[in-house]
Structure formats: C-alpha cells, structure tokens
Amino acid sequence: MLIRRYTITEKSLEKAKQLLKSYDIDDKTTQFGTDIVTMRVLLDEFNNHNQQIVGNSKGLKKQSLVSALFEAIEHYINENRAAPLIRSGNIIMPSKRGMNYLRRFTEGRDNDHD
C-alpha cells in the first residue's frame, strides 16, 4: 500500500509541475517543520500584474507539497475566471497567461441556433 501511495503522489507531483510549466508559472516552495510539515507554495508575478497566489498544506513532506501545489493551482484558476462566462453564444476563457480571450462557445450544427 505504501508503494502505491508513493507512486500516486509522485504522479500527482509530476502532473502539477507539468501544468505550471505549460502555463509558464514559476513556483516557490517553503517548508516549515521536519517530519510532519507545513508546505507553502507561492505562484508569483504571473499575468504581468505582480499577483501572488498561495497554497498551503500540512502532512508528510511529498504529500503536503502536492496538496499545496494543487491548492495554489485551484486559487489561480478561481482568481482568473471571467464572469459571466457565457454571453450570446460566446464564452470568455482565461488564456494560458491568465488574460481573457473570446472563443466561440458553440461549434458546428449548434451555430444554427445563435
């Protein structure tokens, strides 16, 4: 069971790092404690607005890091969500750098109903 849990944690860490890299976001990690730790992940100066997003977690080192990374990613997504999302058949979505761009919400046969 411990090997499986470790593998899941490693894969989750890899996925989180890949996601941040794909959005060109650097993370800074701070560890507090030694065995059972608190991890703080800071996503800093993205979107050219000097914004900071923080994710925190407590637990075993690697698991705490993964949890803090995904919390920071969740905050990043929520911070850059545009509202209202749907307007007149269009959707406003955050781009990879957090900027908004307009994209057609409906495609193909649904365009007949605009």
Percent of the chain with pLDDT over 90: 26
Is residue 104 classed exposed, middle or buried when 0-12, 13-18 and 19+ CB atoms within 10 A define those classes? exposed
Confidence of residue 71 (pLDDT cuts 50, 70, 90): very high
The two beta strands, 51-60 and 100-104, are unpaired
The pLDDT score that the predictor gives to residue 103 is 40
Res. 76: pLDDT tops 70? yes
pLDDT band for position 75 (cuts 50, 70, 90): confident
Over the stretch 16-61, which tens digit does the pLDDT of each residue have?
A: 898 888 878 889 999 999 889 999 998 875 555 667 889 999 999 9
Q: Which domains does the chain show, CATH number per domain?
A: 2-80 (3.30.160.20), 82-114 (no CATH)
Q: Which residues contact 14 (CB under 8 A, 6 or more apart)?
A: none
pLDDT of residue 55: 93
